[in-house]
Structure 1
């Protein structure tokens, strides 16, 4: 898949030197402060840009809808780099490309609004500072300091190995830092102490039920032998995490297809404890240091190359572990691997750009067939969210959702991933219908009318025309839905009666809705011991992958609640132990 490598390498993040360039200025630029609104990860990135004496004097991010925490480095660093270099020709902050580019675009807009020319502020930041060439050696080098990478590092180091971790982001955590921080439990001492039954048999049963969601989902996934293998180690894994400082709070019994869950304060708190455990075990963690390529000798992977702002690193190690996450923030790769989710709302970790996939594929690794998105529901379109952040609060489940055929196609209240997966497979846009019965909702809807994702009309027929929906079918759907609400029975899709709310008077609104994505299923093919496999199914010596870098065999198209944290950390601990055993 050469195209995959090209897409990822084209988006690889290089890092700017902060040395000053010769300051540019624009004689046509009018001094003052200009407020501009642009787009980073989401719409609504608002900047105040101040010009003085023809130069960029200050860039301030006033408000934004960016992902909390992971976009902070770009928000903190980009304004300073732009002002220091008096230039918009500075490199993006590692792992926060979209936010960085959004800030750069905003400053460019401000320059034009002030009467200046962008080309007058396009002098490249001084790149003449020589990068120090550094060679390091370790028993294990790990690319990625999220949950999978950190657990592998701690486990390997505590079993006697010398471990180096390189992380492209300015801080550790990855997707873990965004997570709620809950784990599922199977035969754990923690659940036993709470008096909660958490048998493996029950867990396998509900996993089979979830795997059946989606009538046209591929039948080769999940791999229940692999899941069974990991579940046998889940209880010990939870105890291991507890021994390494992770504070578990509540044990929540299984309900329906939801497993027994054990909660923590949040994922960021778990990351903090694992980082401390790694450092205590002697692990060297290099942040702001993306892995760039793998080093091979005679068909073996023997290290990797990485780069920081001051050093080009060659790290030699007999075992290289890729734990760089998925590809949810590489839009081109998303379009290639899972085009069904084009236009979705992305809440994936900023650093999940598929760089590990490209590195593995470059040495013979193979990407899984039928990648998919880890979805947690539906939301309004990013365009509407950019116009009104409050749009995320609109209750979509108690309304009728149609595609542009004008027909419903799923119960809007369905378990887990059913609704967003059904939405992704439609051949046209999907809309939720709203009336004017709630003044607060109407206020929010009105803010979205200029976004291109919200349409308004006095009648259902006029609304259909505005949103390019089949008018006859939409009217029939509207009338049938109201009749179902009055009867308290949805004969089409068995939507619960308490969510069947009849529509009142207009004006009516059609609100485009999309899948809400927090991760991806796919990665490179691996065996039970996390060896990366080549096209013939043989291990590539010295190369391993885990976490979202290789998670396809855990799921079909529906997500098992709390699976990511439990599965990735368990596999990380086992991999660390196995690497130590092999080294003896």
Structure 2
């Protein structure tokens, strides 16, 4: 056989082999690296749905025969700001990794899972073998470049305190500010908060018949913290809280008309934003600071403070593709939050506070963003900063997904699983939580009626009530008998408790527990119940500061160049923080830090 004939025969043989596979209908599969080979999708655009925190997430996925070409989010009800990181990062990740095994975005877990579910739902319609898409893509290690930056002011932490400090620094003459945030989005714990801001607001309170004073706010903050807090810091907080309200309003933040009393606030002085949760604070402050030139570096974790000649002059940090040295000409402001998402660190310091290693359940959940693990406290301690009140923590009487129709107490009462009240609803948070631990299953129900439900069915914290009911977080019923049946409590007990409570509302006197904050009777159907239980929420301890927000060393002397604001600090709230005081804290002391670093 000639060479030419042998070659032709071989080509014919290969062709017949290929056709035999095609005739059997074999589909190409993923190789050992998880790379998708040709012909696994039916090309086109497909829609899919998943369930996020706020409800349905709808996406459109476009594919050709062998690749995911694009992912677009068509519809969602997630809270603006809270879930932005998931919507910004995940659509690109599916395309880059050609896989549905993408990582959720820290701080946006519910939204991330909803998007992933929706994309899977869409891809299933393409005829693909989903197992080929469930292999996690291998990301090649790339050497990170070293980068140096310089600004007058460097801020660590992109929550409310850090952003308030950035805006304040500019207002006090700063020409350049760099803010480092280790999460994929701004907001920290502030954006997840209920949004209440305690401040004596004379005009609005007078219109509602509420008597209040700064002196009363000071006294309740001190006594509510079991007389542990630093009175000088408490006075700074309370005396400057209302100025923070007007400052934010001047930057564009919108406030609701009514003043309320959130759980644990101990009085009706809680100013509430129009925007849901804490999104209004972050949106307002970030917009103002970036408009002035603030450089914000996301996904950038600060690891170490730089000391030269006894002064803090910068930060060593790590970003997605770089190792950074960020120098600060005037100073560094620490605003990294507390450590309530770090259960090991919480338990490390427990001793003689309200909660101890004996009375704090090991499985208690946290309301905090996952990155709030004490980074700033550790960095400060490493250079000799003094820590204060580390044994004091606070539980919120409900997880952040169980605020329910209202976070205020004036139009609510609480019952245990026997259908009976067990605590004064306007008490301090530690009082409510400790009493809850004594109830069956360590749980209780908040009871409301339809008088507090607005026409748009939005809760006080801005969430969609219908979605909360659909998710089973809130129970709705047309009668107390029906409500009792749905939540599994004795109907006679619930009706008797409601009748007694309503009589106390009428007389504004609570013969059982001494409640003092009153709203309206609970008597108009539909009725609502929200199951609640305590969750780790706030850590009162942290870096010791003075009234100028200068961080102090172990001899109570300021550490040159280092300032701190927000939950990373200690000494303000004592052994228990009043509900609504945290946002006042971050705004008041964030502003002071921005002014102090600029020498004002």
Whether these two folds match at TM > 0.5 is: yes
Change over 3 Å in CA distance of 1:127–1:511 after alignment to 2: same
For residues 66 and 350 of structure 1, what CA distance do their matches in structure 2 show? 18
For residues 343 and 78 of structure 2, what CA distance do their matches in structure 1 show? 16
> Deviations along 1:255-296, whole A, 9 cap, x unmatched?
9944597999953564156415742xxxx5133242330145
Shift of 1:560: 6.4
> Deviations along 1:376-416, whole A, 9 cap, x unmatched?
x869965xx9xxxxx7479997665322354311345x378
For residues 542 and 478 of structure 1, what CA distance do their matches in structure 2 show? 61
Give 1:550's aligned residue.
569
CA contact (8 A) 1:28 1:116 kept: yes
Shift of 1:128: 4.6
User: Is 1:527 the counterpart of 2:540 in the alignment?
Assistant: no
User: Is 1:75 the counterpart of 2:95 in the alignment?
Assistant: no
User: Is 1:291 the counterpart of 2:298 in the alignment?
Assistant: no
Change over 3 Å in CA distance of 1:222–1:171 after alignment to 2: same
For residues 448 and 186 of structure 2, what CA distance do their matches in structure 1 show? 42
Give 2:99's aligned residue.
87
For residues 253 and 163 of structure 2, what CA distance do their matches in structure 1 show? 18
Give 1:271's aligned residue.
285
**In structure 2, which of residues 227, 231, 235 is the aligned counterpart of residue 224 of structure 1?**
231
Change over 3 Å in CA distance of 1:363–1:110 after alignment to 2: farther
State the Cα RMSD in Å.
5.8
User: Is 1:431 the counterpart of 2:414 in the alignment?
Assistant: no
Shift of 1:134: 0.6
Give 1:482's aligned residue.
499
For residues 216 and 473 of structure 2, what CA distance do their matches in structure 1 show? 44
For residues 262 and 433 of structure 1, what CA distance do their matches in structure 2 show? 21
Correspondences of 1:332-351 after superposition (within 5 Å):
346=367
Shift of 1:86: 1.1
**In structure 2, which of residues 111, 118, 133 is the aligned counterpart of residue 99 of structure 1?**
111
Larger Rg: 2
Change over 3 Å in CA distance of 1:304–1:397 after alignment to 2: same
CA contact (8 A) 1:49 1:59 kept: yes
Q: TM-score, normalized by length of structure 2?
A: 0.64
Give 1:572's aligned residue.
590
Give 1:316's aligned residue.
327
For residues 449 and 260 of structure 1, what CA distance do their matches in structure 2 show? 29
User: Is 1:246 the counterpart of 2:251 in the alignment?
Assistant: yes
The gaps in structure 2 that reach 5 residues or longer are 1-32, 261-265, 458-464
Secondary structure at 2:324 match in 1: strand
CA contact (8 A) 2:412 2:522 kept: yes
CA contact (8 A) 1:341 1:515 kept: no
For residues 447 and 142 of structure 1, what CA distance do their matches in structure 2 show? 37
Secondary structure at 2:88 match in 1: helix
After superposing the two structures, state which structure 1 stretch, 521-530 or 479-488, moved more: 479-488
Secondary structure at 2:50 match in 1: strand
The gaps in structure 1 that reach 5 residues or longer are 1-20, 386-390
CA contact (8 A) 1:326 1:353 kept: yes
> Deviations along 1:236-266, whole A, 9 cap, x unmatched?
8789x59x96368899999994459799995
